[in-house]
């Protein structure tokens, strides 16, 4: 035990003195969420405010026919009405953004309204120009409503007469469920990636690095047993992966407290994730997963002759870690008895259900069984591989 | 004391290696039935061209590799049955041995002292002695990555000797070093002899062997071509220079194999 600790202590010291590892293990995970949140909230605030507050320039053709519809405009509607000739090139104006929309009133608009008919207004606009369609539709809808009510009153008909059935929708899915369904797996998934990336550099540094620098023989000729050397090093590899993930969680916390104007959905999910109970539960899954990652990364790092070779083997494996997470995000993929046994996917799916509060405890058990099984297998493989004399001295 | 008895080491060849060596054999005997003895207080030299099996032999002595057959005893202990005890008595240094660049000499030597199971007070005393003799104190707190190659070599020596090993194994210890740095190593080997330690070192540089060794084995393609004292070797030489004699013996073996 003392030997393992000696090894681990020294490896920690070395790892913390490596700028590259520090960057990947501490700086990146800590800053990720605050940076994302700042960008998201900036964009969110700017585009939403702009769309609603910007003055709309609306071209109107046949303004004399528009009747009361435009006279009800208020200052807060913030629309500038520009009366135009019928043959004006209004389509071009809209394309060139000098107009936001053009309303064309037919010659019989007022008579249709007065004669209880349906009058048509044609609106030209660009759907890519956010908020335009909504704001004008609202205006027309309000006017239409007013005319309808007047007509009903004139005819002595109550509103209920023309609305025989009303469907009242009651959505009993909690907000938590809705969000959990779509986003609950996403944030924990980021932690999974950090477990992998955080473990990657130390794994290469602690094994391939020893070969590359020619230090492996010096440690193998000490009386420390090989299994103890491996355990000490593996401990550091796993710990750095977990530390990276924890720092990402800390970053999430900091980001939430400092970023303003985040979409409510993100705040809600993040709030659920930041509960101590959820973090603990997540950790119990991330630890065996990171041990599994280490069990894969270490034999590769033992095999590789140089840092470069190790990286070129590990890079495609990166995709293998990212891909299952993407699959887990897809709608229709649920935690079941098959997906519960696939590493990475199972955590993404299980956390989704946990956030939504719909986790099946039997399946959660299967997830743990699978995580532990894979961890044990990969560690056993590492132990065997580290013991093989030709692997470790391969140059 | 190192006693090597009928030692053989086979390596399995993969396809690539077979192609490179132009052979169909599944295995290669890197070390083929060698026996030799290294005495305490004497310097034993293992001489041979590249690929002769020197490194493989030394790695088996240091328990990094396991023999395919035969046995090695270090200070009376079997390298396979008592690997841990053997390692505690061995110092191992090669010319290409690296150090942990992000540690300081002080941290590195302490680390290896602990790995060798030394208690704190013995370790501290021994470290002071070594740092004093090797003049490491002036840079013992700097990162090793910032040191000159000469300083690094001194740290390497301190690392090798920290646990006061009875047996010291040097694998081409001066390979790749400049003359001044190599001199530290030559000095160390001499000192080990004076201290009554058993020293074995491999080389393909005859002048180095001539300078230092008491006993000599010439090894070629895993087999021993000559094994005896340096004195006996000199007296039976057929050539004027040691280098020429070494080449003659290796070539003779080559021709015999054809």
- Residue A348 CA to residue A335 CA, distance in Å, equals 9
- Residue A268 CA to residue B14 CA, distance in Å, equals 58
- Residue A333 CA to residue A232 CA, distance in Å, equals 39
Note whether B159 contacts A218, CB cutoff 8 Å: yes
For residue A182, what pLDDT is reported? 58
395 residues of chain A, pLDDT tens digit each: 888 999 999 999 999 998 888 888 888 888 888 888 788 777 767 766 676 677 888 999 888 887 777 777 666 678 888 888 888 888 888 888 888 999 998 888 888 888 888 988 999 999 888 788 888 888 888 888 888 888 999 888 888 888 888 888 887 766 656 555 555 667 777 888 889 989 999 999 999 999 888 898 889 999 999 899 999 999 999 999 999 999 988 888 887 777 666 666 666 666 766 778 888 888 898 999 999 999 999 999 999 989 999 999 998 988 888 887 777 777 778 888 888 888 888 888 888 788 777 788 899 999 999 999 999 999 999 888 888 777 777 76
Of the candidates B166, B207, B219, B214, the one whose C-alpha atom is nearest the C-alpha of residue B190 is B214
A64 CA to centre of own chain: 51
Report B:1-20 residues touching A (Cβ under 8 A).
11-12
Answer for the pair B38, B228: CB distance below 8 angstroms, yes or no: no
Architecture of domain A55-162 in this structure:
3-Layer(aba) Sandwich (3.40)
Please state the pTM of the whole predicted model.
Answer: 0.79
For this complex, say whether ipTM is above 0.85.
yes
For residue A292, what pLDDT is reported? 93
Chain A contact for B112 (CB, 8 A cutoff)? yes
A391 CA to centre of own chain: 41
A246 CA to centre of own chain: 18
Strand ranges, E, within chain A: 56-61, 79-84, 101-104, 122-125
Using a CB-CB cut-off of 8 Å, the residues of chain A touching B12 are: 390
Q: Which residues lie below 8 Å from residue A134, measured CB to CB, with a gap of 6+?
A: none
Q: What is the DSSP letter of A340?
A: G
Q: Report the residue of chain B nearest A224, measured CA to CA.
A: B115
Note whether A223 contacts B65, CB cutoff 8 Å: no
* Mutation site for A-interface testing, chosen from B115, B119, B156, B202 by largest number of A Cβ within 10 Å: B115
Numbered ranges of CATH 3.40.1710.10 in chain A: 55-162
- Residue A156 CA to residue A45 CA, distance in Å, equals 47
Closest in B66, B94, B111 to A389, CB measured: B66
DSSP A116-152: T-----EEEE-TTSTTHHHHHHHHHHHHHHHHHHHHH
Q: Report the residue of chain B nearest A1, measured CA to CA.
A: B115
Using a CB-CB cut-off of 8 Å, the residues of chain B touching A223 are: 84-85, 87-88, 115-117
Closest in B66, B90, B98 to A213, CB measured: B98
- Residue B167 CA to residue B2 CA, distance in Å, equals 8
Q: Report the residue of chain A nearest B10, measured CA to CA.
A: A390
- Residue B23 CA to residue A321 CA, distance in Å, equals 42
Chain B contact for A217 (CB, 8 A cutoff)? yes
Q: Report the residue of chain B nearest A8, measured CA to CA.
A: B111
DSSP chain B: -EEEEEEEEEEE--HHHHHHHT---SEEEEEEEEEEEE-TTSEEEEE--TTSSHHHHHHHHTTSS--SEEEEEETTEETTTTHHHHHHTEEEEETT----TTS-HHHHHHHHHHHTT--HHHHHHHHHHHHHHTT-GGGTTS-GGGS-HHHHHHHHHHHHHTT--SEEEEESTTTT--HHHHHHHHHHHHHHHHTT-EEEEEES-HHHHHHH-SEEEEEETTEEEEEEEHHHHHHT-SSSSHHHHHHHHHHHHHHHH-
Is A41 strand, coil or helix?
A: helix
């Amino acid at each position: 035990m003392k030997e393992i600790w000696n090894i681990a202590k020294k490896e920690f010291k070395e790892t913390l003195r490596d700028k590259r590892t520090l960057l990947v293990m501490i700086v990146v995970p800590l800053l990720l969420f605050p940076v994302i949140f700042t960008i998201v909230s900036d964009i969110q605030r700017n585009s939403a405010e702009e769309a609603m507050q910007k003055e709309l320039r609306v071209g109107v053709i046949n303004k004399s026919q528009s009747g009361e519809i435009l006279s009800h405009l208020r200052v807060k509607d913030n629309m500038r009405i520009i009366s135009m000739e019928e043959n004006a090139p209004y389509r071009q104006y809209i394309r060139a953004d000098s107009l936001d929309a053009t309303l064309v009133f037919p010659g019989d608009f007022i008579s249709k309204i007065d004669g209880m008919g349906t009058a048509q207004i044609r609106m030209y606009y660009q759907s890519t120009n956010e908020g335009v369609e909504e704001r004008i539709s609202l205006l027309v809808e309000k006017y239409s409503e007013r005319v309808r009510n007047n007509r009903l009153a004139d005819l002595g008909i109550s509103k209920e007469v023309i609305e025989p059935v009303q469907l009242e929708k009651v959505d009993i899915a909690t907000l938590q469920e809705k969000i959990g369904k779509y986003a609950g797996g996403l944030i924990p998934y980021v932690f999974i990636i950090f477990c992998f990336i955080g473990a990657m550099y130390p794994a290469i540094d602690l094994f391939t690095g020893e070969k590359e620098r020619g230090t492996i023989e010096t440690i193998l000729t000490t009386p420390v047993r090989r299994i103890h050397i491996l355990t000490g090093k593996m401990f550091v590899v796993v710990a750095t992966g977990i530390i990276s993930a924890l720092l990402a969680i800390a970053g999430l916390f900091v980001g939430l407290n400092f970023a303003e104007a985040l979409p409510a959905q993100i705040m809600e999910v993040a709030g659920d994730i930041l509960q101590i109970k959820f973090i603990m539960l997540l950790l119990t899954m991330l630890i065996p997963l990171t041990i599994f990652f280490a069990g894969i990364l270490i034999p590769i790092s033992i095999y590789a002759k140089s840092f470069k070779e190790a990286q070129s083997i590990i890079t495609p494996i990166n995709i293998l870690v990212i891909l299952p997470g993407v699959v887990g995000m897809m709608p229709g993929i649920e935690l079941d008895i098959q997906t519960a046994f696939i590493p990475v996917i199972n955590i993404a799916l299980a956390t989704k259900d946990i956030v939504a509060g719909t986790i099946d405890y039997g399946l959660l058990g299967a997830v743990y069984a699978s995580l532990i099984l894979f961890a044990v297998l990969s560690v056993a493989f590492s132990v065997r591989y580290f013991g093989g004399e030709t692997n470790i001295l391969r140059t | 004391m190192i006693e090597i008895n009928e030692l053989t080491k086979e390596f399995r060849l993969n396809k690539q290696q077979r192609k490179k060596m132009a052979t169909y054999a599944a295995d290669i005997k890197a070390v083929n039935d060698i026996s030799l003895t290294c005495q305490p207080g004497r310097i034993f030299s293992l001489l041979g061209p590249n690929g002769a099996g020197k490194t493989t032999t030394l790695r088996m002595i240091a328990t990094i590799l396991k023999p395919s057959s035969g046995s090695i005893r270090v200070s009376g202990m079997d390298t396979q049955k008592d690997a841990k005890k053997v390692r505690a008595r061995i110092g191992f240094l090669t010319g290409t041995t690296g150090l942990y660049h992000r540690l300081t000499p002080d941290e590195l030597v302490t680390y290896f002292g602990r790995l060798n199971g030394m208690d704190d007070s013995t370790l501290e005393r021994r470290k002071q002695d070594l740092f004093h003799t090797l003049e490491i104190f002036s840079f013992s707190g700097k990162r090793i990555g910032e040191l000159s190659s000469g300083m690094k070599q001194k740290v390497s020596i301190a690392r090798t000797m920290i646990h006061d090993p009875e047996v010291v194994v040097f694998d081409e210890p001066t390979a790749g070093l400049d003359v001044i740095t190599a001199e530290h190593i030559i000095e160390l080997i001499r000192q080990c002899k004076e201290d009554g330690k058993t020293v074995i070192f491999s080389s393909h540089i005859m002048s180095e062997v001539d300078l230092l060794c008491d006993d000599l084995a010439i090894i070629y393609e895993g087999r021993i071509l000559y094994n005896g004292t340096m004195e006996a070797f000199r007296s039976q030489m057929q050539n004027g220079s040691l280098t020429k004699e070494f080449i003659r013996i290796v070539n003779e073996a080559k021709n015999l194999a054809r």
